[in-house]
Structure 1
Amino acid sequence: MARIKNFDKKNKKSKFKKFKENKELLLLTIPGTLWFLVFAYLPMFGIALAFKDWKIHGGFLESLIKSEWVGFNNFKFLFGSSDAWLITRNTVLYNLVFIILGIVLPVTLAILLKELLNKKLSKFYQSSMFLPYFLSWVVVSYCLFTFLSPEKGYINSIITSLGGEKISWYTEPKYWVFIIIFMSQWKGVGYGTVVYLASICGIDKSYFEAAMIDGASKWQQIKYITLPLLKPVLIIMFITAVGGIFRADFGLFYQLPKDSGALYPVTNVIDTYVYRGLINLGNIGMSAAAGLYQSFVGLILILVTNGIVRKVDKENAFF
């Protein structure tokens, strides 16, 4: 018993010592911790809304307690709808494309930027690609409208000047699969590029110097040094992206096509469908059920994907 007590005392002292040594770093984590506590963990109590017929009875807690328990009835809004297959298909397929392009394009651009000898030019390109990330989809949608406006759009002006007929872009679903994918990558590729570029810049230069001495070409350096050392970051980004495969960027699918009903076959996803249902029906429980469904499926996908990665390459697993 005395040995156990001594061990506990030493363990507590070592923990306190580590805390003192890293107190500055721990203090820096406080804002992020508070943010997650307020905006991520406290709202989790609202999960109960997914199983209740929400009615306002005063304050939030009073309404939560007095609202009738309806079990899984709210989930029928998603699964019992005639559009359930359409919105699920659109959400998943778009996200699969976004995951693939969201890795290939940023990694390629990050490698190209790293290889530029003119560093000032490299920073200019980097800033230019990163700028669209800060624009809201509302602003982007109006910029796109100047190009695709059926009457005075820039693209239609070019088409008519070449002897063609104007295209009614906002009533033709066949074009919007490509427009949405292009605009999504245009807006988000800068963020991914910065992440991968930071990782590439962190690679020890001695690896490349040794490879150059051995006569390795640029492609061989990328293939045998850059890409293998990027693997941990690639895996983390891939797993987190898979976790959001049942979620869609609301602004991309709602604001960009101007909520045109003619485009619903290719632009209607789970998030926009739930929003329209909430506006029309005013049922908060249904929207809460959809959010819970997306979060639960995302959690399962992360666990499954991480489990597969852990079996293949244990060192690079997320957890």
Structure 2
Amino acid sequence: MRAVTRGVFNELYKHKTLYAMTLPALIFFVIFSYIPMMGVYYAFIDYDFGKGILHSPFVGLKNFQYFVSGGWDAPIVYLTKNTILYNLVFILLGNLMQCIFAIMLTTIVGRLFKRTSQSIMLLPHFVSYVIVGTIAYNIFNSNYGVLNSLLKAMGGNGVSVYMIEWIWPIIITLFFLWKSTGFGMVVYLAAITGFDREVYEAAKIDGCNLFKEIRYITLPMLKPTFIMLVLFSLGGIMRGQFELFYNLIQRNGQLFYATDVLDTYIYRAMTVNFNLGTSTAAGVYQSVFGFVLVITVNRIIRKVSPENALF
């Protein structure tokens, strides 16, 4: 035991500079990730603001009952379905679009056009989600929105888009792709830039055209990057892009069944209903389910392609 302890201290002393560099990140995670975990206790008490956390009555799993009761109509069912489906589309379609645009940019010869295109694609990332919600409202507003103004100008009737449930998954996905593609593309651009150019030169000598280079060289070499980014994204698959959903939908109950995700549900339970126990119970479920999902997916990846697994 002493030998092990001495070895640990020797390791720390030997690489003290490197460990000191990781200290700020460690402190950050302790303060903002590990200490807040004690709040899980709220999920098992009937919290009273007057009594505080220590003196509020313990209710066991009662806070989970409303969340899971109701059979197939229970909040846990449609919230989990919406959160997972939306995020799967965001992750897969988002990474696919980022990869495609990165490849397209690398094939552009003109330096000025390439830089201009990249800057234009990056710009939406820096637009606030509040502004995104305002843009959507000014497009789809039934009274004076751009869409209805055009329809009426062409002799048609206005459309109450905020009352049409089925169309909002498409609208949300389009706004997500518009805002995130440019920034996510940077990682793929960096990966492609690091590829050995001699491989491409050899392919050209052998008679490969641009499309064959992309198919047989670029895409296979991008595969590890794609898998790694997808796995990292799966770690937050139960996090529902709160800012996007909240600012696009606001509190339009007409659209909740098709657009409500765990994050927006937790927010309303906390701020509208002041139900700290239920919101914490939903948060606990969100974290545990996400953790199990990441472990499961990584195990599948490790069996199929061990070199691309995270751990």
How is 1:185-224 mapped onto 2 (pairs within 5 angstroms)? Answer: 185-224=177-216
Say whether the 8 Å CA contact 2:269–2:276 is kept in structure 1: no
Distance 2:169 2:6 in 1: 63
Distance 2:114 2:306 in 1: 35
Aligned with residue 55 of structure 2, among 60, 63, 66: 66
Distance 2:19 2:104 in 1: 36
Aligned with residue 298 of structure 1, among 264, 283, 290: 290
How is 1:162-181 mapped onto 2 (pairs within 5 angstroms)? Answer: 162-181=154-173
For residues 288 and 153 of structure 1, do their structure 2 counterparts lie closer, same or farther at Cα, with a shift above 3 Å needed? Answer: same
Aligned with residue 310 of structure 1, among 290, 302, 307: 302
CA shift for structure 1 position 141: 0.7
How is 1:78-117 mapped onto 2 (pairs within 5 angstroms)? Answer: 78-81=67-70, 82-84=73-75, 85-117=77-109
Distance 2:116 2:29 in 1: 34
Runs of 5+ unmatched residues, structure 2: none
Q: Is the counterpart of residue 32 in structure 1 residue 25 in structure 2?
A: yes
Deviates more, 1:43-52 or 1:299-308: 43-52
CA shift digits 1:290-314 (9 cap, x unpaired): 1111111111111111111111111
Q: Counterpart of 1:32 in 2: which secondary structure? A: helix
How is 1:41-80 mapped onto 2 (pairs within 5 angstroms)? Answer: 41-57=34-50, 63-80=52-69
Q: Counterpart of 1:54 in 2: which secondary structure? A: coil
CA shift for structure 1 position 115: 1.4
Distance 1:300 1:8 in 2: 33
Runs of 5+ unmatched residues, structure 1: none
CA shift for structure 1 position 275: 2.3
- 1:41 aligned partner, one-letter code: Y
CA shift for structure 1 position 52: 1.9
Let me know the Cα RMSD of the aligned residues.
2.5
Distance 2:36 2:50 in 1: 19
Identity of aligned residues (%): 39
CA shift for structure 1 position 127: 2.2
CA shift for structure 1 position 12: 6.8
TM-score, length of structure 2 as denominator length: 0.89
CA shift for structure 1 position 124: 2.1
For residues 120 and 26 of structure 1, do their structure 2 counterparts lie closer, same or farther at Cα, with a shift above 3 Å needed? Answer: farther
Moved beyond 3 Å, runs of 4+: 7-17, 25-31
CA shift for structure 1 position 106: 0.5
CA shift for structure 1 position 28: 4.3
Say whether the 8 Å CA contact 1:55–1:67 is kept in structure 2: yes
Distance 1:202 1:30 in 2: 30
Say whether the 8 Å CA contact 1:254–1:267 is kept in structure 2: no
For residues 215 and 50 of structure 1, do their structure 2 counterparts lie closer, same or farther at Cα, with a shift above 3 Å needed? Answer: same
Residue aligning to 1:243: 235
Distance 1:13 1:202 in 2: 37
CA shift for structure 1 position 181: 1.0
Residue aligning to 1:276: 268
For residues 167 and 208 of structure 1, do their structure 2 counterparts lie closer, same or farther at Cα, with a shift above 3 Å needed? Answer: same
For residues 277 and 12 of structure 1, do their structure 2 counterparts lie closer, same or farther at Cα, with a shift above 3 Å needed? Answer: closer
Aligned with residue 149 of structure 1, among 141, 147, 159: 141
How is 1:128-143 mapped onto 2 (pairs within 5 angstroms)? Answer: 128-143=120-135
For residues 216 and 308 of structure 1, do their structure 2 counterparts lie closer, same or farther at Cα, with a shift above 3 Å needed? Answer: same
Say whether the 8 Å CA contact 1:141–1:256 is kept in structure 2: yes
How is 1:253-292 mapped onto 2 (pairs within 5 angstroms)? Answer: 253-292=245-284
Say whether the 8 Å CA contact 2:266–2:280 is kept in structure 1: no
CA shift for structure 1 position 200: 1.4
Residue aligning to 1:127: 119
Q: Counterpart of 1:68 in 2: which secondary structure? A: coil
CA shift for structure 1 position 211: 2.0
CA shift for structure 1 position 264: 2.0
- 1:139 aligned partner, one-letter code: I
Deviates more, 1:163-172 or 1:80-89: 80-89
Q: Is the counterpart of residue 183 in structure 1 residue 175 in structure 2?
A: yes
Distance 2:256 2:264 in 1: 10
CA shift for structure 1 position 217: 2.0
Residue aligning to 1:161: 153
